[in-house]
Structure 1
Amino acid sequence: MKSSDWKVISAAKEAGIPDPGFEIDKNTAIVITDPQNDFLREDGVAWPIVKESVKENNTIENMSTVFRLAREKGMKIFISPHYFFPTDKEWKFGGALEKFMHSKEMYKRKGRLDMEGFEGSGADFLEEFKQYLEGENIILCNPHKLYSPKNTDLSLQLRKYRIEKVLMAGMSTNLCVESHTRNLLEEGFEVAVIADASGSAKLPGLDTFQGALMNLRMITSHVFTTEEFEEALNSASLK
């Protein structure tokens, strides 16, 4: 992340906002939202608006590092993807970004039971991540349709695995990452975020990553960089 992003973290500290800290242990898992082509591949429909943030954060490299470290340590990763099926396009109303996603056919799938055309599509997972997705530590959850996991099985899966603490990463920071974070906090999970394993829209006069970073600093237990996460994970007891 660029230095101006970390000024948000410094400003919170200077303002007296506590940083409770986050200890990784055996009851900790990672939740990754939307590690998909439509966000992270150069021909993805959202790439033009997120590319600057993704490049500044080294998001793809950092997400790959998170996947690799989790596999090496046997740490669970719960993936919360985003899919749209043909019936979803018949919705009668929607917010601004819903309209954008539907108009661009973002995350498009032919059907719930139809995987034809999925491989390599915008809804598919980024190729760099696929080497990790068949690991025993990966749990693929039902898709969210807006931004939060409220209508998915994510919380059920976390609780069934007796997960109490969550590290958030993925796309995009101000939408699905922040919405998942808020939802999980309200459900009683302890949550931190790996900020530079994420990215979000950046447009003239509108840096959504910086706005999300400010919110996440205020509501989570800690904001990690990927490097800090690796250090914390290496010193953690996961047994």
Structure 2
Amino acid sequence: MGLPNTTVTIDDRTALLLIDPQIDFLSPDGVAWGVVGESVTKNNTVANMQALLETAKGCGMEVFVSPRYYYPTDHGWKFEGAVEKLMHDINMFDRSGPLSLVGFEGSGADWMPEFKPLLEDGKTIFANPHKVYGPQNNDLVLQLRKRHIDKVILAGMSANVCVESHMRDLLENGFEVAVAWDATAAAILPGMDGMAAALTNYKMLANATWSTEETLAEMAKVGFSKASYATA
């Protein structure tokens, strides 16, 4: 017996949410490339994320970002899980401080260059950084609720960690969630394939699991303009 088919109908209460669209995860110059690069390349993740971002901006869909940053004080944590420890050990997503952008431009914590013009348009909503995997300790849900958003298209990094954690928390908070599965990627390690683990859980839990091509086709059905969206 298979699972029943479910979907998400995109409308003016739908937003695109990008998780950690940052250099350290998505670029060969990033510190995590050694474990995620194979998956990012196979899924064509960067190009797929860019296509979703360009389409969302083009049709006036709200775009949210839930980033991850670590400040010097975060390196004082007394206990960590395996992935947390790895990220701290390799200085992933490090910034000089919460109130400083010294050294941020072009660093591993910065946005992918392909995304920067679209993300830095003055309209993208940036949540506070999440520190572990999910959005429970940032203001993402507040920002979504304040804009009457109750449907979310998820993309970004990494598939079985932060993206899945955001998916689970948003579902628990009453949002409809569609995951663009190939606009994500995950670590591949001996005996562990994060992408395979994520796909199983997306298909079991999300309201819709689409390829980027399928997601773009759904977004193309959106019949509202930037002006009407702004006043919705």
What is the TM-score with the length of structure 1 in the denominator? 0.92
Q: 2:127 aligns with which of 131, 137, 141?
A: 141
- Aligned counterpart, 1:182: 168
Amino acid of the residue matched to residue 162 of structure 2?
C
Matches within 5 A, 1:186-197: 186-197=172-183
Report deviation, 1:236.
2.4
Q: 1:99 to 1:209 in 2, by over 3 A?
A: same
Aligned residue for 1:29, secondary structure, equals strand
**Are positions 1:213 and 2:202 aligned together?**
no
1:30 and 2:16 aligned: yes
**Which whole-Å CA distance do the structure 2 matches of 1:137 and 1:179 have between them?**
25
- 2:215 counterpart residue number: 229
Aligned counterpart for 2:51 among listed residues 61, 65, 70: 65
Q: Is the 8 A contact 1:74 1:137 kept in 2?
A: no
CA deviation profile, 1:159-196 (whole Å, cap 9, x unmatched): 00000101110000000000000000001111110111
Structure 1 residue ranges, 4+ long, deviating more than 3 angstroms after superposition: none
Equivalence map 1:75-224=2 (5 Å) = 75-224=61-210
Q: Is there any run of 5+ residues in structure 2 with no aligned partner, and where?
A: none
Q: Do the aligned partners of 1:75 and 1:137 also contact (CA within 8 Å) in 2?
A: no
Deviation at 1:115, TM superposition (A): 0.7
Cα separation, 1, equivalents of 2:59 and 2:123:
9
Structure 1 counterpart SS, 2:125? strand
Structure-2 separation of matches of 1:53 and 1:182: 22
**Matches of 2:18 and 2:5, distance apart in 1:** 23
Q: CA deviation at 1:204?
A: 3.4
**CA displacement 1:120-140 (0-9 Å, x = unmatched):** 111111111111012354111
Return the alpha-carbon distance in structure 2 between the equivalents of residues 128 and 51 of structure 1: 17
Q: Aligned to 2:33, which of 44, 47, 50?
A: 47
Residues matched between the structures, number? 225
Aligned AA (2:195): F
RMSD of aligned residue pairs (Cα, Å):
1.0
TM-score by length of 2: 0.94
Tell me how far 1:20 sits from its aligned partner. Answer: 1.0
SS at match of 1:235: coil
Q: Give the Å deviation of 1:22.
A: 1.1
Deviates further, 134-143 or 146-155? 134-143
Distance 2:10 2:55 in 1: 13
Q: Structure 1 vs Structure 2: percent identity of aligned residues? A: 51
Instruction: Give ranges in structure 1 of 5+ residues lacking alignment.
Output: 1-14
Q: Residue 32 of structure 1 aligns to a residue in which SS?
A: strand
Deviation at 1:16, TM superposition (A): 1.7
Amino acid at match of 1:109: R
